[in-house]
Structure 1
Amino acid sequence: MTTPSTTERPVARAGGTAPAPGRTPRPARRRSLDTRGRPLWMLLPGGILMAIVIVVPLILGVVISLLDLDQYTLRSWLQAPFVGLGNFVEALTQSPLLRSIGISASFALIVTAVTLPIGVVAALATQNAFRGRAVVRSIFLIPYVLPAFVVATVWRTILQPSGIGNHFLSFFGIDGGLWLNGPKSYWALVFVAIWSSWPFIYLLALSGLQSVDTEVHEAAALDGALWWAKLRYVIFPYLRGPISLAVIIAILHNINNFTLPFVLFGIPTPDAVQVMPVLTYIASFQSFRFGLSAAMAICSLVIVAIPLFIYLKAVRLDSGEDRVVRGVRETGVAR
């Protein structure tokens, strides 16, 4: 009886027995659910929730913006007269929407430009360890952790004609006058927004400083780098990502800020601080022009989408996955 050679022996498969000689191996049974498709199923509950919270209201807003919907046609809003783009034309030509866009844009840019150096300097001041650093950091965060309506209520009391703000300015011979009405209301809103929003820049700048390697600081000290050269060539490159993200988020937040001007000035607001969210609120709940207010909201959404795309670009994790996928496709491995 001869023993079969090594090449004639069936090769055993991992996790199973060797197939019998002369038989074709049966193909493995395919799974009912592809493994690569499982993450999509896991995203389904969140996708449904986002559709209910974001997509459905957006579609309703677009539909309402095409109707002449007001207090008289609200009960049967599906039968409201269809006006097409008439609300958009009225919003851009007959309403103060363009003026509100300018006010919102200038307000957001001024507040962001002022809070940026304040937050960076505060982060640099509290980076190194010193006695009482935890207390100082906690004090810096007070304006940011307070709710917006609390901040607006407190500053509304301070900026009254007989409030503590004008009383303090009187010691220096300055007549404050009216801060909550007239042209000074714009700068009052800017000042309060700066006071309440600079700790956000501070937090992101501080997180960027924490990522600087200690060996980089030691190397700069051994090379005899001065403080300005150290800031410019060592620290600022690490802050480029967090600061860019902070600027985009701050601009978006200031453009969409409704609570601060609404509580600080009340309704009707002065013309100098009639930002886009406040104007949309007035058109909807003061004039009851729901179709017009929906058109204003859509126009505001389009304007906000411009920095929003930059924001989405900034928050992408730079993990190198795009380069890996591109390299795999170039080598022909991906199918």
Structure 2
Amino acid sequence: MTTASNPAPETRLAAAAAGRGLGPAPAPIDDGPTPEPDTGRRRGLSERNRPLWMLIPGGVLMLVVIVVPLLLGVYISFLDLDQYSLRQWLSAPFIGFANYVEAITQSGILRSVWLSVSYSAIATIVTLPLGIAAAVATQNKFRGRALVRSVFLIPYVLPGFVVATVWRTMFQPSGVITIALHHLGIDPGLFLNGPNTYWVLVFVQIWSSWPFIYLLALSGLQAVDHEVHEAAALDGALWWTKLRYVIFPYLKGPISLAVLIGMLNHINNFTLPYVLFGLPAPNDIEVLPYLTYATSFESFRFGLSAGMAVVSLILVAIPLFIYLRAVKLDDAETPGGRK
């Protein structure tokens, strides 16, 4: 004997509605799966702070390599530390800001700052159009473009020591440049000692640093859409108009970064003047890193040289702060940027 099971309530409602002529009953509403009850379990500290753990190796390395030497240099700048008190430098006399006062009033640091900033500005101003022109010239495809790009990068990939040594050899009284000028009936005088030393330093710095501007300008040109070039060609834009209104706006960011890094690199460049001119340096090229080195390892005034190094750090931090502030303001004005 077979017993029929009782239909479900939804089935009975549908049959009753059909019997009264009301049409099919509406389908039951599916509210989805029933949410599981909250057990009150939360992520522990280990899981929540796991990304911070990944910063520990880099943070420790930065602390040991950058922060500790920086704080140590600032502390030494307040000491009367020289060759006599170096062995017991922790017990060296504390003289406060006397090293900074002496650096500004007696050591010629203001002249060195002027030389560093002026030669850096001249080198940056000259390398800027050279790098942009080279980037524009090698942007489009042509036969031998890879070879030309490789040749353009030679001054930049060579180490500073090699560059300075090669140019020092050519600028010597028996060097290639001096002999060639003599054959042309020109008496250039001494390049490495005399009134021409400042311009020799500027020239070699320009030769070795313009490919950096070229690299960043070329990277900015690669970001220009082909549709933009096609639209400018359809509108009949001339080459100067195309450069000014189509290409140059794309180069604003890379060129700004290249100018900042180039200026900071020129101001902090010690290898080039040291290898090019030797020690003691001519007065016209006694830039700030050179003066700091000579004060420390010629005069053995380590506290005074530490004060000069702190002044150099402040000098470098000023344009860096201005650039970072400008980037932050530009990001805030961009739609979708943080206010």
Question: So what's the TM-score if we normalise by structure 1?
Answer: 0.88
1:209 to 216, 221, 227: 221
Q: Distance in 1 between matches of 2:33 and 2:140?
A: 65
Letter paired with 1:85? F
Helix, strand or coil: the match of 1:202? helix
CA contact under 8 A between 1:244 and 1:314: conserved in structure 2? no
Q: Distance in 2 between matches of 1:201 and 1:325?
A: 28
Letter paired with 1:162? S
Partner of 1:113: 125
Letter paired with 1:113? I
Whether 1:50 and 2:62 are equivalent positions in the alignment is: yes
Letter paired with 1:272? D
1:222 to 215, 230, 234: 234
1:254-269 paired onto structure 2 within 5 Å: 254-269=266-281
Cα displacement (A) at 1:30: 1.6
Partner of 1:69: 81
CA contact under 8 A between 2:331 and 2:338: conserved in structure 1? no
Q: Matched residue pairs, number?
A: 316
Helix, strand or coil: the match of 1:261? helix
Cα displacement (A) at 1:144: 0.4
CA contact under 8 A between 2:78 and 2:95: conserved in structure 1? yes
Q: Distance in 2 between matches of 1:75 and 1:84?
A: 20
2:202 to 181, 187, 190: 190
Partner of 1:332: none
Task: Give 1 or 2 for the bigger CA radius of gyration.
Answer: 2
Whether 1:276 and 2:312 are equivalent positions in the alignment is: no
- Of stretches 54-63 and 161-170 in structure 1, the one that deviates more from structure 2 is 161-170
Question: So what's the TM-score if we normalise by structure 2?
Answer: 0.87
RMSD of aligned Cα (Å): 2.6
1:304 to 313, 316, 319: 316
1:141-152 paired onto structure 2 within 5 Å: 141-152=153-164
Q: Distance in 2 between matches of 1:253 and 1:314?
A: 20
Partner of 1:236: 248
Helix, strand or coil: the match of 1:187? helix
Helix, strand or coil: the match of 2:49? helix
Letter paired with 2:99? N
Partner of 1:286: 298
Cα displacement (A) at 1:54: 0.8
The share of aligned pairs that are identical, in percent, is: 67
Cα displacement (A) at 1:76: 0.6
| Cα 1:10–1:131 shift into 2, 3 Å | closer
Q: Distance in 2 between matches of 1:53 and 1:196?
A: 28
CA contact under 8 A between 2:295 and 2:304: conserved in structure 1? yes
Partner of 2:20: none
CA contact under 8 A between 1:252 and 1:304: conserved in structure 2? yes
Cα displacement (A) at 1:325: 7.8
Cα displacement (A) at 1:37: 3.2
Cα displacement (A) at 1:167: 1.5
Cα displacement (A) at 1:34: 6.6
Cα displacement (A) at 1:322: 9.0
Q: Distance in 2 between matches of 1:255 and 1:4?
A: 87
Letter paired with 2:217? A
- Of stretches 300-309 and 252-261 in structure 1, the one that deviates more from structure 2 is 300-309
Q: Distance in 2 between matches of 1:194 and 1:38?
A: 47
CA contact under 8 A between 1:185 and 1:273: conserved in structure 2? yes
Helix, strand or coil: the match of 2:45? coil
| Cα 1:317–1:153 shift into 2, 3 Å | farther
Letter paired with 1:68? D
1:50-199 paired onto structure 2 within 5 Å: 50-199=62-211
Structure 2: which 5+ runs fail to align?
Answer: 1-5, 11-27
Cα displacement (A) at 1:170: 2.5
- Of stretches 189-198 and 311-320 in structure 1, the one that deviates more from structure 2 is 311-320
Structure 1: which 5+ runs fail to align?
Answer: 17-24, 328-335
Q: Distance in 2 between matches of 1:237 and 1:324?
A: 20
Partner of 1:12: 34
Partner of 1:19: none
Cα displacement (A) at 1:12: 2.2
Q: Distance in 1 between matches of 2:174 and 2:338?
A: 66
Q: Distance in 2 between matches of 1:4 and 1:101?
A: 92
CA contact under 8 A between 2:332 and 2:338: conserved in structure 1? no
Which segments of structure 1 move beyond 3 Å, counting only runs of 4 or more?
1-7, 34-37, 310-327
